[in-house]
Structure 1
Amino acid sequence: MARTRSILPVLPVLAVGAFAIGTDTFVVAGVLPEVARDLTSSLAEVGWVSTVFALTYAVLAPVLGALTGRLRRRTVLVISLVVFALGNAASAVAPGLAPLLAARVVTAAGAALYIPAASASAAALSAPERRGRAMAVVLGGLSAATVAGVPFGTWLAADTGWRSTFWLLAGLGALCAGAVAVGLPEVRLPAAPGLAARLAPVRDARVLFTVLTTLSFMTGGYLTLTYIGAVLTPATDGDGTTLALLLLVFGVLAVGGTMLGGRATDRWGPTPVLLGSVAGLAAVLATLPLTRDRLLTAVIAMAAWGFTAMATQPPQQHRLFTIAPASGPLLLSLNSSATFAGISLGGFIGGLVTAHGGPDGLDRLGPYGAGLAALAVATALIGVRAKGPAGQAEPAAKAPERSEPAERTS
């Protein structure tokens, strides 16, 4: 118990770093029109600012996770936050679209390295029976960004210019780097003997189906969420303030889903929590054509959507970390990569549906997303029953075995 208490001050620091990265990820959509005007580019051209970030994150997350798996977590986290801060500073002073895109690549590299490393650190520093809650604190920073960071960053950009938002993120990243350098105990995961050994779990069927599960439900969710303003127009009458309040409901419940998902994972294990949350997400999306016409039902739908969508994350990370703790950074990076690939793929598929679906295109987004969420339930079940390299299935995690503490030095 003392071991758990000793890391409590560290977890909020890791969560603040995740908050900065979450804000950086999602706030860009709110400042794109101003960026387009300032850089004399079209909205379609500056749309690449978001796309390049997501694609860079998806590609680099597993690569950087593999290359840094043997380094101490504090070193990795400080490097990632410094790179993140420098990328945002470069974004703030970018004189044109091409330099801005290059800066976003740098920023995404720092983000891709940070989130898996922070989650792995939280897991390694916590007792196994509290691992889900510890990882949920870090993920809660990402969820909180949708509640506070994105609205504030969007307001700041509107009031003082889009560059000030990136300066704010650069400063927050630098502060977090200093806090991690001073406050995080040294953590070295039980390392595999070499890069090849750390990459070995990637061939594990349990890992494959876990990552496919994340890709499926993230694609299904963002197939609709990317176009949520248009989807909810019947309920909001096109009023931006009403839409902002609905997104606030989504964000608040997303934070609650993350935290309760972590606690539920510790109590009942990752599998039932994952299956329940993904099934709930499928139900929300399937019924969206029925709930998007009235404000009250839209509020209920957005609340349920935020809760179920983010309750999926702690059990997924817990499953991957449990399969191979020595390769935890790499496996969590694969999950992050699948998350961002799903965001990009969902937006792309959703655009095709709205463009070619005729007058009923927006009504089709929810059911199509529900179909992908149902596919995620299927891949999750297959992953649970899959055998590892030595023939072992996924461990029952209701009461995880207490592992040896990760190596720590003061």
Structure 2
Amino acid sequence: MLVFILSLANFAIGMGVFVAIGLLLPIRQAFGLDETQSGLILTIYAVTYAIGSPVLVALTGARSRRNVLLIGLGIFALSAIMIALAPTAQVLFGARALSALGAGMVTPVTAGVAASISAPERQGKVMATVFAGLTFAQVLGVPAGTWIGYTFGWQSAFWLVAVLSIVCIAGIARFVPHDLPFEVTGLHSLGEALANWRGLLVIGFTTSFLGSIYVIYTNIAPLLESRMGYERDGITFLLILFGLGAVVGNYLGGWMADRVGPLRTLGTLCLLQIAIMPAFSFLPYADWMLAGVMILFAVAGWSFVAGQQVRVVRMSGNPPTVSLALNAAAIYLGATIGSSIGALAIGALGPDSLGLIGAGVAVIALLHLLLSHRVAHRG
């Protein structure tokens, strides 16, 4: 039950984060924002999370894991209520920053708890289960929240997020032991982690690998529109397939990490992405072929989560919770870098370049993986 509650907490976090993507248009209309201003709804969250999560995890490193989760979920629930009641865009942006701080306390700590309660040979499976909540949030929570938002008003989706967060608070209070063992950390732990360049090199693989994926994923809608002639329904269907593939990949990655080890798992995934991504540079295909490519792209992409987290815990040389917070920050950094590379590629070379550029970044990720593994073992 404990693992389920941790996964449910990540589901609430994921829904609160990603449902804003599906509701950007009504939110923009409600506050009179232009496209650039509405983009701040996502950018503010990503930047705040990347900076705030490692700091807050370090600052709360002496508190019980249950209390940290309760505080983080409380902040997240409050932020969802503030968003639903926001009278101005400034309050909305501030609430999104607050939600990033709450989420930044919850997600890394759930991973730390998962690592602490599982035997080494089962860490991959447990990590995958805990993070399945984030994956299911994209597959089920976001479409459901978007539908609710368009049907009952965009604020209703955030009220739902607040209710889910409160349910998770009750579950955490009931099922997470107050005396769960953990390694005490502080700001000095974060300072030591940031000074540990070998550990940062290990964690940085998250950025390079996700960067390769987001070269394509962020720009998938205009690519499909221009090369396949897809409109709303076609693009939505492929995104649903991507989400289902992500769910499969999340569990497959945990299984692989336990069976063959994180390094072989991640190396295999890099090679698969290098092979799969160029297909996006040679559209159009038959619909069924593109659907197959999209599923393989998602499976290979999201299989990395559990293996990389197990690797970070074992190899970074830092306290697990601090390392996992830095790893979570690296996720948003990778998404930002990959999206920027994709946008530059489209501007300079056109959308057909995305697949080959993404594969090139995946080659860099593979070299990064091998280098970080060698350096970490020498250290």
Q: TM-score range by the shorter chain?
A: over 0.9
2:299 alignment partner in structure 1: 307
2:14 alignment partner in structure 1: 22
Asked if the contact 1:234/1:294 (under 8 Å) is kept, the reply is no
Asked if the contact 1:232/1:293 (under 8 Å) is kept, the reply is no
Q: Amino acid of the residue matched to residue 338 of structure 1?
A: A
Deviations 1:38-82 (A, max 9, x none): 111212211110111111111112112222223221111111111
Q: 2:67 aligns with which of 75, 78, 81?
A: 75
Asked if the contact 1:206/1:384 (under 8 Å) is kept, the reply is no
Asked if the contact 2:193/2:322 (under 8 Å) is kept, the reply is no
> 1:188 aligned to 2:200?
no
C-alpha separation in 1, matches of 2:370 and 2:343: 30
Q: Amino acid of the residue matched to residue 302 of structure 2?
A: M
1:203 alignment partner in structure 2: 195
The number of equivalent residue pairs is 378
Please report how far the alpha carbon of residue 291 of structure 1 lies from its aligned counterpart in structure 2 after TM superposition: 4.8
Counterpart mapping for 1:122-133 below 5 A: 122-133=114-125
> 1:385 aligned to 2:377?
no
Query: Secondary structure of 1:98's partner?
Result: helix
RMSD: 1.8
When residues 197 and 83 of structure 1 are mapped into structure 2, their CA distance, relative to the original with a 3 A threshold, is closer
Please report how far the alpha carbon of residue 322 of structure 1 lies from its aligned counterpart in structure 2 after TM superposition: 1.4
Q: Amino acid of the residue matched to residue 191 of structure 1?
A: V
1:96 alignment partner in structure 2: 88
TM-score normalised per structure 2: 0.95
Please report how far the alpha carbon of residue 173 of structure 1 lies from its aligned counterpart in structure 2 after TM superposition: 1.0
Please report how far the alpha carbon of residue 87 of structure 1 lies from its aligned counterpart in structure 2 after TM superposition: 0.7
Asked if the contact 1:123/1:131 (under 8 Å) is kept, the reply is yes
1:258 alignment partner in structure 2: 250
2:135 alignment partner in structure 1: 143
> 1:173 aligned to 2:165?
yes
Please report how far the alpha carbon of residue 370 of structure 1 lies from its aligned counterpart in structure 2 after TM superposition: 1.4
Counterpart mapping for 1:57-76 below 5 A: 57-76=49-68
Residues 144-153 or 275-284, more deviating: 275-284
Please report how far the alpha carbon of residue 211 of structure 1 lies from its aligned counterpart in structure 2 after TM superposition: 2.2
2:77 alignment partner in structure 1: 85
C-alpha separation in 2, matches of 1:227 and 1:326: 35
Q: Amino acid of the residue matched to residue 373 of structure 1?
A: A
Please report how far the alpha carbon of residue 353 of structure 1 lies from its aligned counterpart in structure 2 after TM superposition: 2.5
Query: Secondary structure of 1:322's partner?
Result: helix
C-alpha separation in 1, matches of 2:333 and 2:266: 19
> 1:232 aligned to 2:224?
yes
Asked if the contact 2:253/2:303 (under 8 Å) is kept, the reply is yes
C-alpha separation in 2, matches of 1:117 and 1:51: 23
Please report how far the alpha carbon of residue 377 of structure 1 lies from its aligned counterpart in structure 2 after TM superposition: 0.7
> 1:244 aligned to 2:236?
yes
Q: 2:356 aligns with which of 357, 364, 367?
A: 367
Please report how far the alpha carbon of residue 259 of structure 1 lies from its aligned counterpart in structure 2 after TM superposition: 0.8
Please report how far the alpha carbon of residue 25 of structure 1 lies from its aligned counterpart in structure 2 after TM superposition: 2.3
Query: Secondary structure of 2:45's partner?
Result: helix
1:282 alignment partner in structure 2: 274
1:402 alignment partner in structure 2: none
C-alpha separation in 1, matches of 2:318 and 2:348: 46
C-alpha separation in 1, matches of 2:147 and 2:189: 47
2:215 alignment partner in structure 1: 223
1:6 alignment partner in structure 2: none
| Runs of at least 5 residues in structure 1 that lack an aligned partner in the other structure | 1-8, 393-410
> 1:322 aligned to 2:305?
no
Asked if the contact 1:69/1:327 (under 8 Å) is kept, the reply is no
TM-score normalised per structure 1: 0.88
C-alpha separation in 2, matches of 1:292 and 1:93: 45
C-alpha separation in 2, matches of 1:235 and 1:345: 24
